[in-house]
Every structure is written in C-alpha cells, then in structure tokens.
Structure 1
Amino acid sequence: MTIDSRIQVVLIDDDPHLRQALSQTLDLAGLKILPLAEAKGLAAQLERDWPGVVVSDIRMPGMDGLELLTELHAQDPELPVLLITGHGDVPLAVQAMRAGAYDFLEKPFASDALLDSVRRALALRRLVLDNRSLRLALSDRNELSARLVGQSPSMLRLREQIGALAATKADVLILGETGAGKEVVARALHDLSNRRNGPFVAINAGALAESVVESELFGHEPGAFTGAQKRRIGKFEFANGGTLFLDEIESMSLDVQVKLLRLLQERVVERLGGNQLIPLDIRIIAATKEDLRQAADQGRFRADLYYRLNVAPLRIPPLRERGEDALMLFQHFADEASARHGLPPHELQPGQRALLLRHTWPGNVRELQNAAERFALGLELALDNSESSHAAGTPVEMVSGGLSEQVENFEKTLIAAELARSHSSVRSVAEALGIPRKTLHDKLRKHGLSFADSGASAHPDDLD
C-alpha cells in the first residue's frame, strides 16, 4: 500500500495530544495531512517521487526520528524531513541537520513557525520534482533519438507523437511496413511510460498456429482441451501491470478478434475452460502492416475492433519516404556493428552515399541494418533492387533517359548525398566534392538544392 500522492504532510508523533494539535494546525491551513503514531514502515509506503514532506518527532519508541531520516533518505535523499525536538535534544537535532534534515523545531514552538517551515519545504519539494521531471524528459528525449534515428520531418513528428502518447493509458495501433521498426516503437512507448518497471510482452500473432493461438493469448485451465494437463497463464495475463505488444494483428481469426475486443473493452481475461474473470491492468499496443479499414470492408477484420484500436494510431514512415535519414541510420548501424566486432569504423565514400540515397529500401530499416552490418565487416555494399544499381556501377548509357540526363541525375544525387552529411560550412562541402565553391553554388541553383537543408552555414567568405 502506498500513501496517496494528494497527502502533503505526513505527521509522526507518539504523543496523541500533540499529534492532534499539530494535525489541527496543518488542517486549518488547508494542507492535506496523514497523522501517524509511529515511524516504522513509512518508507515502504512512500514512492520516490511522492510530492509531500515528513514532520516527525525525534524521540519515539521503536523507530526514532533519526532512524526514519536515514531510511527515508536512502530512498530519496531530496525528501524534506522536519524534526521536532525537546529542549535537551538540540545537539541531537544539529546532528540530524548535518545528516540531511530539512529543519528542526524545538518544543514549545509557535504554530506559525511550523506552518512557515512546512510551506517552505513543500515549495522546495515542488522545485526538486519539477527539475527531476525535466531531467527525465530530456533523458527520455535523448533515449528516443538514439532508438529512432533520423532528422526528417516525419521522424521528428513520430518521436513527438511517441513522447505525447507514452505517458497516457491509451492503447496504440502502430501502422508500418515490414522492417519499419514497429517493435522498436512499441518498446519505446513502454519504456517511456509509467509501466516501464512492468513486463513488456511481445507476441507475433502471425507466427502462432491457429490451434494454439487462444491458449497462448488467453491461457487455459487443466482439462480445457485434450492435452491440457495443467494451468497455463496466457500472454495477456502474464503482461498484467505492463504492456502487451501484439504484432501482425491482421492475421488473427475473427473468433479471436471477438475475444480481444471484449478484453479491450472490459479489461478482463477468462482462461479457456475457466469461469473466473481475471481483471487486467494492461496496455495493448497492436501493430499491422495492412490497411485494417480495407480489411474490415472486405470482411477479414472486425470493424468494431478496428475502430476500438484506431483511437491512437501511429504511422511509421517507410525508409523510402525518409531518404535524408538513410545515411545517418546507415552510419549509426555500421558504427555499432564495427564496435561489436572489434573492427575499425569505415568511412562511406561519395559513390556509396549516392547509392544509399538512390535505393528504395523495400525491406526498410531491417534491410538497411543488414547492409550496414556487411559494410562494417568490409564486404561489398550490394543492394537488391535494380534502381540502386545505377549508382553501383551499371553503365549510365544502359539505363533509360539517355547519357546526359543520367549524368545530371547522378551529379544531383552525389551532391545531395554530401549535403546530407554533417558539415560546418559551404567550404567543407565543396572540398569534400573536390570542386570550387562557386561551382558548387552554381550546381545547387541548377539542381534546386539548398544548404538550408544540410545544416551547413554559408558565410560570406565561403563565396569565391
């Protein structure tokens, strides 16, 4: 059992008369209080970010005020603890202040002195928690950027949506092609939520045989069917208190969809062969690579389940729509692979960068990650679809559009690839391409490219 976050002051004193008088003083001041006769067990009831303060007498039977201070600060060193002392306990109180007590009040003290100290402690506590929340938000933002690499507008928007949804209780429907990173997004939603300490259970509905899918998801009792010799806890029940990620939801049968709809609406699960309704505290994150609305229109997916899931949809853009992210992602995965294999990192050459930008990535991020792994191992950078082969070495005159047009396209792609890299100035881009700065400016105008898109700065002394 935890203490309600609405409680502002926990007051501990074994003297019932003093406890009642102090409680009355704090209550009349509009503060929500919890009076206690002993300190034992309090720390276990306070969450680390509990937004209140503790006021405690020092001399009490069982656990005294100093022991309580030590126990509370082992859990949260920034929790304000105010100690009440008798006249002879002042040296003890000084010792407590050195140990981290926020303040001490010597009996007898005026009511105003208690209220002033409590209010100041509450103001400090609010400031501490605000700063803690800000640091956590910044940490989460950095963590999210590390997980979902990219600076394209679509990825910035996706990270913003994940940040907004993570702290809510809403179920989420993730839409994305194969290899786009649906489980990565689901894990980010879980890890940035209040459920982060609960289980994250991932299951691919498309990989389950029809004969076992209900038992796998909902569990079963002994004797529920032939071979069911003992109770099995299903995935939904196993995920209680956390998040269940259900991938390829479009592959679920209509019968199972009915049970899933009931679970979503009532937040209970009933094991196969059982009669007991088991309440669930669970968040469902479903994912699909299909258009569920179209599947519903075709009778392959229940329309009511679609509308129930589609409250908070998240669309993961395919890699072909985030071309400006391909190089950043590739380098990220290649550096990771190099470190994992104990190999020195390789530098992408301009022709290779152009190849990566031209590729349409039918396998999305998963395909790119595999290509980066091969690159890190020193293998040839070979991509699958024919469109990319133009940059890989297929003679330009062999492809449609004619020699002149293909040369122009290749030049534009090569410049765009260099712009996508991190450069501090126009000069550095021109040097990387091996052309004069004025020539670079002319070609930028010719191809409709802009330095604003690259993050490079065009200083006056960059121009010839």
Structure 2
Amino acid sequence: MTTNSSAGRENEGALVAFVDDDEALGHANRQTLDLAGFRPIVFSSAEEALAAIDADFAGVVVTDIRMPGLGGLELLRRLTALDRDLPVLLVTGHGDVEMAVGALREGAYDFIAKPYASDRLIESVGRALEKRRLVLENRRLRQLAARAEDDTPLIGESAGIERLRQTLRQIADADVDVLVEGETGTGKEVVASLLHRWSRRGVHPFVALNCGALPETVIESELFGHEAGAFTGAARKRIGRIEHSSGGTLFLDEIESMSPALQVKLLRVLETREVEPLGTNQRRPVNLRVVAAAKVDLADPAARAYFREDLFYRLNVVTVRIPPLRERREDIPLLFAHFLARAAERFRRELPDLTPSISRHLGQHTWPGNVRELSHYAERVALGLGEEPAEPGTEPEPPSLSERVDRFEADTIRETLARHGGDVRRTIEALKLPRKTFYDKLQRHGITRKAFESDEG
C-alpha cells in the first residue's frame, strides 16, 4: 500500500514492538519498520517484551506466534489483560484460518502469514497505530475534561498563553488603560474580564459594550447617559455605561468601529476623567479604567483607517496581543476537552469518544474563528453532529473482522502455492481443502496459480 504524506508524518517515530526469537528476522523487520518511519523496538522473547510494555505504551506490538517459552497467543492474552485497547498483530508461518479467527476474536488486531511483503506489514502497523493514537487521544481527552473547570482563565499551556497570563497579572493592578488586540474569537473579553478580576477594581462593576453592535444614535446615550427629556423618547434619566463603570472597568469591544464624532467625546473623557450626560452641562467625575479591544492592529495607520491617532495613543498605554489559535495549536486538545465537558454537562449528554474524523478535524483545521469556533465545534460534537467529511487521501476505517480473515486467507494461499512451486495437489493437501473449494477461493481472491509455478502441478 502507498501511504499518503500526512499519514507518513503521523507515523514518524511511532513505537512498534517486534517480538520474535529469530534474530535474523528481527533484524530484517527492524530495518523495514525503520525505513518506513517507525521507531522499532525488537524483543527476542515474549517475557522480555512483557517486562518493557505497560498500559501506557504508545505504540503497537507485532509478535510471532510460535516461540520458545511464552508463545504469541499467550502474549496476546497478557497484553490484552494489561490494556484491552493495545493493538497486537500476530505473525505465523504455521497458522490457518481457524486460528486467525480465534486470535482475532481474542483481541488480536491483525494476523499476518509468513512470508509477507514489507508493504503488508507496514500497512497493518500503520492502521494499528492510527487506532492506538485515537485510543490514547480519547484517554487524554477524558483526563483533561476531568480537570477542566468553568472558571479556568485563559486555558492553555503554550508559551504564548503563559506569557499573556504573566503580562495580565503584572498590569492588573497598575490602573492603566489597556488596548487588547486579537482576531475575532480569540477571547478579548476574557482578557478584559481577567484584568478586572485580578485587580483591586474586581469588587466594582465590569461593564462591557460592543461598539460595533449598536447604531450611533444609541451608543452615545449608552456610553454617556442622558437626562429626562434630552431627546425624543428619553422619558427617564439614564446612567451611562461610563459612569456605571466608575470604580470598576469599562470594556469597549470593536472600538475601531466607533464613529469619529464619538471618538472625540471619548478622548475628552479619557483625558479629564469626567463624563457629561446628554441633556446637561453638568460634568461628573468618574474613577475610570478603560480596556479597549480591536480586531485590527491600530498601530498600523493603514489598518486603523479612520481611527483617531490621538485616541490611539491615549489608549495605547499598554497593548496586549492575544495569539490566534493557529499559533498555539498545542492548546487545542485542552481547550476542546474543556468546551466538550462543559457542553456535555449543559446538554445532559455522556462525554463522547473522539472518532478518526473528529481527531483529524482537530489536528488539520486552521480555526479561522479561533477559540469561539472551537467552542461551537465542541458543542456539535457533544450533540453527535461533529463528524467532518473525510478529506481526499485520508486513511479509511480499519478493515472489519471478515475483511481481515479474507486477507489472511489470501496470504496463506499465496504463501502455500509459493512454497510448493504452484503444485495444486500438494497445495490442496497442505491447506486441507477440497479441490473445488480451492479453485473457488483462487477466483474469489483473484489469485493466478500459474504465477507460482515452477513445475506443472
């Protein structure tokens, strides 16, 4: 089988324990697996392998069946008892279909008849590693979900997130205005909320306003407040968001969308720390800290377009940048586990297992919507709607039991024909098959007897 490049990269350095008392065969298979990008570990006995393999073994096991002392079938049973999800591939030159079926039912992942082509071994090992990788991912997901808490701030262990947390703690009590930059969905309000919670202002209100979500006719009243009768429809006095946040933190999201006229008024508030509601000439002092967020880099004149330069410099006492998810991909499993556990609890569902499709999507998707997109995807997974269509060239599902038995049967027939030089009579005797059944199987598996002939059979 020709594996695709992504599968090859996934298998790079993956552990394969090869157990066989035949030193020459062990050496040959070490070379085969090593050239295919795996990391083979060769053991000369089952006892030696058992001493080195535990339930956390990150690879797969390939073992001969017939060995002195502990045989491959008993090794299979002991490894299955240790970890029922550990893939074990059995190799034999003496087996038959009945033994293959029995071994597969006992938990063997696959059954390979000697002699076998290197591609046959590599294909089966690759599939087994894909299964093992998925099992270990599910275990890690459940471990992460078990320790995920709803109040965990800025989930992640990447260097970028560690630096961000450290910066926020350093400036939280500095009482300076802060500009937060980050793409859509990166968690700008989470950062603003943490600055508030980690400061002395945390006992006072955290007031958030999305400047891009309100029309200009409304946002001015929302920010500055108004007196009764200040404009048509203003029946009662209203305290604006700026004044309401006094003593606490005012979070202005998408500040780059604020109109130029409103920017002038906000600049005056930041400079004087006073607010003048609509409909009055009275100025009221405010104990104000502003955290403003933008989706664009306001330091770039081209990016900030109509944003006032003086307002930018007034806000830009400290600038904090939130890295997009594509720059901290190592945080995706932890974030996904947190969101999945939260969604499963909210929807009253059992925590689902990862499937190859979900695992592939988590690893390959670029997440343009960042953490918000990942959170929504976790909700779909919790509802059983997270399967993504397979991308071209991705590996198919592992073969079924009947497919594996058919493959073993075909391998055994080819091996027996080769051993007897294509002689039909001796092959039939060795396989203990009726002649008609033998020819039916040749036809079903697409095997041409003449390809093995050395003499007429």
Query: TM-score normalised to the size of structure 2?
Result: 0.51
1:212 Cα deviation (Å)? Answer: 1.7
* Pair 1:394-2:400 in alignment: no
**SS of residue matched to 1:245:** strand
Alignment-derived partner of residue 249 in structure 2: 243
1:353 Cα deviation (Å)? Answer: 2.6
* Pair 1:264-2:270 in alignment: yes
Alignment-derived partner of residue 121 in structure 1: none
1:351 Cα deviation (Å)? Answer: 5.3
* Runs of 5+ unmatched residues, structure 1: 1-141, 383-391, 397-405, 411-464
**279, 291, 294: which one pairs with 2:285?**
279
1:208 Cα deviation (Å)? Answer: 1.1
Paired letter, 2:155: V
CA distance in 2, matches of 1:186, 1:157: 16
Alignment-derived partner of residue 258 in structure 2: 252
* Pair 1:331-2:337 in alignment: yes
1:230 Cα deviation (Å)? Answer: 2.7
Q: Which has the higher contact order (CA 8 A, sep 6+)?
A: 2
Aligned 8 A contact 1:361 1:368 in 2: yes
* Pair 1:312-2:309 in alignment: no
CA distance in 1, matches of 2:235, 2:344: 49
Paired letter, 1:243: T
Aligned 8 A contact 2:179 2:315 in 1: yes
CA distance in 2, matches of 1:297, 1:185: 22
**147, 165, 169: which one pairs with 1:163?**
169
CA distance in 2, matches of 1:221, 1:369: 41
Alignment-derived partner of residue 374 in structure 1: 380
**SS of residue matched to 1:169:** coil
**205, 216, 224: which one pairs with 2:211?**
205
Aligned 8 A contact 1:223 1:229 in 2: yes
Paired letter, 1:273: G
Paired letter, 1:287: A
Aligned 8 A contact 1:296 1:302 in 2: no
* Runs of 5+ unmatched residues, structure 2: 1-147, 397-457
**Residues matched between the structures, number:** 249
1:299 Cα deviation (Å)? Answer: 5.0
> What percent identity do the matched residue pairs reach?
54
1:296 Cα deviation (Å)? Answer: 6.8
Aligned 8 A contact 1:241 1:281 in 2: yes
Paired letter, 1:395: P
CA deviation map 1:368-405 (0-9, x unaligned): 001101111222333xxxxxxxxx52231xxxxxxxxx
1:218 Cα deviation (Å)? Answer: 0.5
CA distance in 2, matches of 1:245, 1:285: 5
Alignment-derived partner of residue 232 in structure 2: 226
Alignment-derived partner of residue 288 in structure 1: 294
**SS of residue matched to 2:354:** coil
Query: TM-score normalised to the size of structure 1?
Result: 0.51
